[in-house]
Amino acid sequence: MWVYVARRLLAIPPLLLAVSFITYLLLYVAPGDYVTHLKENPAITEEALGELIRKYGLDGGFWTRYGHWLANAVTLDFGYSFKYDLPVFSLISERLSNTLLLSVTSMIAAWSLAIPLGVLAAVYQGTFIDKIAGFLAFFGLSIPRVFYALLAVLFAAKTGWFPTGGMRDQIEWDGFTPWERFKDVTHHLVLPVFVIATAEMASHMRQMRAQMLETLGRDFVRTARAKGLGFWTVVWKHAFGNAVNPLVTQFGYSLAALLTGSFLVEVVFSWPGMARLTVDAVFSQDEPLVMASVIMATVMLSVGNLIADLLLAAIDPRIRLE
């Protein structure tokens, strides 16, 4: 197993190399660069532009620039953001925690709704409960995420029950006690988490329901019941454990999507997370920041996949990692 983990970890650097190469190439061939917007400013002289271009190293060709970036990156030096003149990781780490707060909370909410609902829908197949669950699932699956988020913002604006965006009260925050701060962030979390969780839970719940239905029809379930075991004991102890395997795989993937899954919702809710930082960086062609964000997301994805595989091995004795 450790060999397996080591092999998977060793596969990450080539992947990062490929991803960074493609990202850099795309940034390079996109028209203009970070200083382009300054060119139209009549007050900026040719010399001043030249200084900036040299400062940011934008005068080299693709291989020079990429090589330079790569050489620093392997020493874990990802450089300074052009726009903020700060080390990119100090920018990212701040945003990363905000994004994780949103996505982890949403993930917990989604899974803790999806599993019981999926099981109930299977057990009470065809009843009112199943239909409600089915409706929720199709709603979550079919509604475009951006539109859903916009509806939620509209709801917040119309009712005034929830903030229309952001992560905290910008005006009063600095005077809040820790307890008030906790309440405030929670209040701001409700709507975005609701949107992500209800959309995310849909597919998990359908999967859970299908697996459960299949398992409940198997012989060992009938045998267990025939032995006289209680219905719910059979459902949770025998059927559930067998039905949950594919969901563990899904869970692993959702770990991998923690960074990027909430992207659109973050934008709509002006959540101060990775999404806005990355989008802004792409638009302003802030190369170090874009590169670092992409590398970060790739690492999360690889590690998430690895964890998914390990989890699977842990709960399914048939799977051996070689």
Partner 1 sequence: MQKHKEIRTFATLATVLGFAVAALGGCGGCSSEPKGTGGPATASGAATASEAAGPGTPNPPFQGELPKGALVDAEGDVGKYGGTFVIASAGNPKSFNPILQNEASTSEVISGPVFATCWGFDNLKQTETPEMCEKYERTPDNMTYTFTLREGLKWSDGTPITVDDFAFSYNVITDPKIPCSVKDLFKQGKDAAGNDLFAVMEKVDDRVFRFKLREPNVVFQYTAGSIYAVPRHKWENAYNKGEFNKAMTLQTPPEDIVSSGPFRVKAFATEERVVLERNPYYWKVDKAGNRLPYLDRVIFVVVPDFNVSLLKFRDGETDVYEVRPEDVELLKRDQDKGNYKVVELGPSFNTNYFMFNQDDGLNKEGKPYVDPVKTAWFKDKNFRKAISHAIDRNSIVNVLYQGRGQPHYSYTSAANKAWFNPAITQYPYDLEKSKALLATAGFTLKDAVLTDKAGHRVTFNAVTNSENPTRIALLNLLKEDFAKLGIEVKVQPVPFNDLVTRLSDTRDFESIVLGWSSAVPPDPSQMRNVLLSSGRSHNWHPNQKTPATEWEKRIDELVGKNSQVADMAERKKAYDEIEAIFSDELPQIGLAIYTDHAAGRNNLGNFRPAALRPKTHWNVEQIFFKTPKNAKNR
Q: Which positions touch partner 1 (CB under 8 A)?
A: 30-33, 36-48, 51-52, 55, 83-86, 90-91, 94-95, 157, 164-168, 170-175, 270, 272, 276-277, 285
Nearest-approach distance from CB 110 to partner 1, in angstroms: 26
Q: Which residue's CB is nearer to partner 1, number 3 or number 171? A: 171
The secondary structure of residue 160, as a DSSP letter, is -
Q: Which residue's CB is nearer to partner 1, number 108 or number 151? A: 151
Determine how many CB atoms are found less than 10 A away from the CB of residue 237. Answer: 12
Determine how many CB atoms are found less than 10 A away from the CB of residue 156. Answer: 17
Nearest-approach distance from CB 321 to partner 1, in angstroms: 41
Query: 272 near 236, Cβ under 8 Å?
Result: no
Orientation angle between helical segments 287-315 and 62-74, nearest 10 degrees: 50
Residue in 248, 257, 252, 253 with CA at minimum distance from that of residue 99: 257
Q: Give 79's contacts (C-beta < 8 A, 6+ positions apart).
A: 69, 72, 87, 88, 288, 292
Both tokens assigned to 21: 């190469």
Q: Which residue's CB is nearer to partner 1, number 51 or number 214? A: 51
Q: Which residue's CB is nearer to partner 1, number 180 or number 214? A: 180
Both tokens assigned to 130: 């199943």
Nearest-approach distance from CB 36 to partner 1, in angstroms: 5
Q: Which residue's CB is nearer to partner 1, number 37 or number 237? A: 37
Nearest-approach distance from CB 117 to partner 1, in angstroms: 34
C-alpha 117/C-alpha 206 separation (Å) is: 9
Nearest-approach distance from CB 70 to partner 1, in angstroms: 24
Residue in 13, 16, 36 with CA at minimum distance from that of residue 24: 16
Nearest-approach distance from CB 154 to partner 1, in angstroms: 10
Q: Which residue's CB is nearer to partner 1, number 93 or number 142? A: 93
